[in-house]
A and B are shown apart, each in its own frame.
Chain A
């Protein structure tokens, strides 16, 4: 269990409190911290400096979002390295990886438009992406996209980027399947992309090689890591990885039961400037995930229960 040392008694008691909540998606946050076994003591100490004796999930989230993440993870460009890629996180750093392999990143286009401080005309913007993907020689579309991505890159911070491997979802992308965005979302456990109550979510799928990430800052050795509970905002769709595993595992949100359940890898890598050559697909997430968060977590935990050291404390 993370934060099990005596000095974290107060925080542990908050975890216990949240664990007792009746909302499963709230309990999931406490469970993740209880199960997390990949944090170094130094990282725990660092986190505890920002989390001042929270009595409930709201207070805890407040400190997590407003203190820890801005100071250690979501850093401004030019203002250091996120803790994820420092030696404080050494057990989770992925230092060797075949550089040729492709990574896959799913971005909400509306959120990118916000970052780029450009038009809010998603329909028009998506039109340019569609045109470009259909005909990469379309110079007009390329001009708009290059400008858009350039603005985005300027305004993005250094937060670690969640990615999966193209090799694990290429089957979905090589077919002419207009539901690919829903399927990729489910495979990668991106349950927060949920259009349940309305409009579809425009998503941009970016594909680049590990080498592209390294090339951004070749002098910095630490470029990728296995995600932990401290590396992003709280999410019930995230699940920590047992120590024995060599990469993060996403929740499988596809429709189906235990027999169909599959793990997909996810890792974090450091900041990369998006380029037009990374633009791989544009599509819309139109459906809710194939299974609920609660159900996915139940199955996920069942498969990992023997691997998690502190599973008995749930």
Chain B
């Protein structure tokens, strides 16, 4: 056919055959006029043109679409607005489903993880939400059960996303293939779990509970209509997951009367094999643990495979992975030395199920580090620090890893910030003292330890640490006195006994030292160091200085063991560990002798055994990811230390912060967290420019849903003396689950410019702090909320009774507290704004 006789659409098809990707690109981005079809959305146009096309033409489109997505993935064209780009992506994703573009689908399945954060940044509302469109696409083209954890998280509303994400979660579960990748043929069991979890999650919501409930009923009714089944079927499947007093039981009871009766125990039903499905026994874990400890991995592998397989099967069937996460991390750790690659696979599996579990992040980082992937390991911990600012264990692990890689100076700042953020955490305090000591700053280390001894009278680690600092200063008599007192106060602590024995050696009191060591060996037969030291002392082959040096190495190991978080990673254990009140602190980290022994064993495995690096596994993401997170983390850290420094040091850190932040933005120009860090830095320095900067992010960048940008904007305006009372209120209404954070920041800004509204704002903060509604927040925000409330109570309202409404007389105390603790509160707010 001669080209001039072609219609516009036929011409497009000819062009497409010649340059598929370029021609498709022009169509998708709206640069092609499609004549009579033009009014349709692009996916409809492509459907019209290709659904009856020959297979090779469809394959060409498939390839072109895949390449097109690859071209713009995580980096959309700057000349197209966010709103329009969201629409374009929606049409591209829809095409992949409507025309069953297999290559594109597989590519999306493989490349969705990191892109979600990018797409989330493009969110403008449920009607412009490319992340939701991608997830919907993925739910409809699943090839295996890999995405089950994600669907479960969406149903549990763990990600604090709008309701329509829960809808996609349920869709994903419904469309979950069986273990062979085939359509399941029935509703997967996980659907029932998802529905139950969704009901319970909605019931916990602060706002929109009614809307949520209506949404849940719509979804469940529609699902029951799509799958005609008997009441018996629904009842026995839901019974597997629903507990009698839960909101899910109440709601399901309205739809399935028999279920209600069974839950009320007025009726029993006959169980089928499917409904008798039970989770694997927990008791078996102890046996497996012993097996790994006593036998080479090769020997126990078959049993281990079966054991882990049972957990995985249960999780895949039900979506319930709480135990899997614990077991996989634990086993991963145990097998690390023998098979680091497998250990990483296990921990990554746990991570897929529980990305909001801070300790899984630490475990991953440790394994990456063990395998020699320093950048990746540090990147993970920096990212974890940003995501979980309320978890002190992340800080200590990050600092210790920095130390391991010879970055004591940065570790020191990490510890300093942690000490400020967690004033009641002795592990952070001791860590700071140790890193100071390691840098030869002995006077500062001594001061930190002395304060720790005062603040934590029931903590023996800081006593021993103090004694060691004194020893390093050559003040042996004082060290001896500290150790003697510790022995008295902590009769079950062998560390101080060994320390004292070494001091006596250095003081040439050989007999006293031998006597003490003999007694220690008798009382603590499992203490390898005392036994070893005793033998050496008796042989008199080594000088006291050499023996002392060996002891130094041992104490470092002990300090690390104490800094290693306990390994119970169940959600409840994590929650209990992160509770801040000082009076509970001693019961938070119970260190039984056998636990200590185990900790030491672990420490030996990870910290002191230097192994040659294992080659990179191909499935790891590029190290670039770690680099950007590291730079963002450093920018925050340098800015923090600059706020606390003066003179030349202040200027230097300010510049460092700006430099690393710009580096991060050079690598990832639209990175929300780097932009926030940059903006917060500007508020301190140039509020007017900061206002413009945040305004640009909110308006031009169309990201009004990023709370950090909004608060930064108000901070900048307040600093210039502008009145923004109304805007704060609007913000609280818009972000109800972050009300405490917003109220606190409003109060903080108010205190800069005290006026007659201060009392009412302080009262608003008080109310937020004392309101018992933490359980109603999305689960991912609860620990952060506790941290903020605890800090407000201890830093802003110290010495003030919070039971009754505030009166004018509290204001002077609040003002004084604010002067003293303003930087701490600022840190809490800013860190909590980037934990998304």
Contact = CB atoms under 8 A, between A and B. Distances in A.
Do the two chains belong together in a single complex?
A: yes
Interface of A: 22-23, 25-26, 29, 57-59, 61-62, 65-67, 69-71, 74, 76-79, 108, 110-111, 114, 117-120, 124, 128, 139-141, 143-144, 146-148, 150-151, 154-157, 191-192, 194-195, 197-199, 232-238, 293
A198 B38 contact: no
A233 B43 CA distance: 15
Contacts of A77: 125-127
B39 A199 contact: no
Contact of B47 (A71, A110, A117): A110
B44 interface: yes
A79 B36 contact: no
A146 B221 CA distance: 10
Nearest to A128: B225
A59 B409 CA distance: 56
Given A117-B164, A146-B222, A76 B124 contact: yes
B98 A62 contact: no
A76 B83 contact: yes
Given A25-B36, A150-B218, A234-B33, A117 B98 contact: no
Interface string B567-611: 000000000000000000000000000000000000000000000
Contacts of B133: 117
Interface stretch (B48-56, B147-155, B356-364, B660-668): B48-56
B38 A233 contact: yes
A110 B127 contact: no
How big is the B interface, by class?
35 or more
Contacts of B140: 119-120
Contacts of A143: 218, 221-222, 224-225
- What are the nearest 4 A-B pairs in CB distance? A147-B222, A198-B52, A140-B225, A65-B30
B261 interface: no
B80 A66 contact: yes
A237 B164 contact: no
Given A192-B38, A198-B52, A235-B39, A155 B44 contact: no
Name, among B37, B136, B225, the residue most crowded by chain A CB atoms within 10 Å (CB to CB). Answer: B225
Contacts of A197: 48-49, 52
Contact of B31 (A62, A155, A234, A237): A62
Interface in B359-400: none
A198 to B, nearest CB: 4
Nearest to A190: B39
Contacts of A237: 36, 39
Contacts of A232: 39
Contact of A191 (B36, B80, B226): B36
B168 interface: yes
Given A71-B81, A154-B164, 9 more contacts: A23-B7, A66-B81, A77-B126, A117-B133, A119-B140, A143-B218, A155-B126, A192-B38, A234-B38
Contact of B44 (A62, A78, A111, A124): A111
B173 to A, nearest CB: 13
A66 B33 CA distance: 13
Interface string B104-143: 0000000000000000000011111100110010001000
Contact of A70 (B49, B83, B98, B215): B83
B30 A22 contact: no
A144 B35 contact: no
A24 B225 CA distance: 49
Interface of B: 4, 7-8, 26, 29-33, 35-41, 43-44, 47-49, 51-52, 80-81, 83-84, 87, 90, 94, 97-98, 124-129, 132-133, 136, 140, 163-164, 167-168, 171, 215, 218-219, 221-222, 224-226, 228
B86 to A, nearest CB: 9
B127 A76 contact: yes
Given A194-B48, A235-B39, A61 B31 contact: yes
Contacts of B87: 70, 74
A147 to B, nearest CB: 3
A198 B215 CA distance: 37
Given A111-B41, A140-B225, A199-B51, A151 B164 contact: yes
Contacts of A25: 7-8, 35-36, 38
Given A66-B84, A194-B48, A147 B219 contact: yes
A148 B223 CA distance: 11
23 contacts: A22-B4, A58-B26, A61-B31, A61-B32, A65-B84, A66-B80, A66-B84, A67-B81, A70-B83, A74-B83, A110-B44, A110-B47, A111-B43, A114-B94, A118-B136, A119-B171, A140-B225, A144-B225, A146-B218, A154-B126, A156-B127, A157-B127, A197-B52
Contacts of B47: 110
Contacts of A119: 140, 171
Contacts of A157: 127-128
A194 B128 CA distance: 27
Contacts of A235: 38-39
B58 to A, nearest CB: 12
Contact of A79 (B51, B125, B136): B125
B704 to A, nearest CB: 9
Contacts of B221: 143, 146-147
Contact of A233 (B39, B52, B98): B39
A275 B305 CA distance: 53
Contacts of A29: 33
A97 to B, nearest CB: 25
A110 to B, nearest CB: 7
B40 A192 contact: yes
Contact of A155 (B4, B32, B36, B164): B164
